[in-house]
Amino acid sequence: MDNANYKAIGIAIAETRKNNGLTQMQVCEKLAHVVGMSQGRLSRLERGEWLPTAGQFEHLIRAIHCTEDQARELRYLAAQASERLTDAAC
């Protein structure tokens, strides 16, 4: 997958998670109730290889303790990535 937005999202999520002293496993424990979220998926997300659904994404933003500014930036990047995928499919 060659999407710079995916990579930017992954980097931002990993940095926020680490800056808040959370491991991937701790985040996954907080997301245990969210279908489709696992440590493997979080790892792929942080490497820029996967983008969660909008619902999964909102749960993730809360789980890694994003500030409002960080959450806004992540939502913006995710919207751009989704838009590019839609454009590419047409």
Q: How many separate domains does the chain show?
A: 1
Closest CA to 51 of 11, 82, 15: 82
Q: Residue 62: give the domain boundaries.
A: 4-85
**CATH number of the domain that 9 lies in?**
1.10.260.40
The answer to the question of residue 90 being in a domain is no
In 3D space, the residue among 57, 20, 54, 55 whose CA is nearest the CA of residue 42 turns out to be 57
Give the CA dihedral 56, 59, 62, 63, nearest 10 degrees.
-90
pTM of this structure: 0.84
> pLDDT per position in the chain (90 positions), as tens?
457 888 999 999 999 999 999 999 999 999 999 998 999 999 999 999 998 999 999 999 999 999 999 999 999 988 888 775 555 554
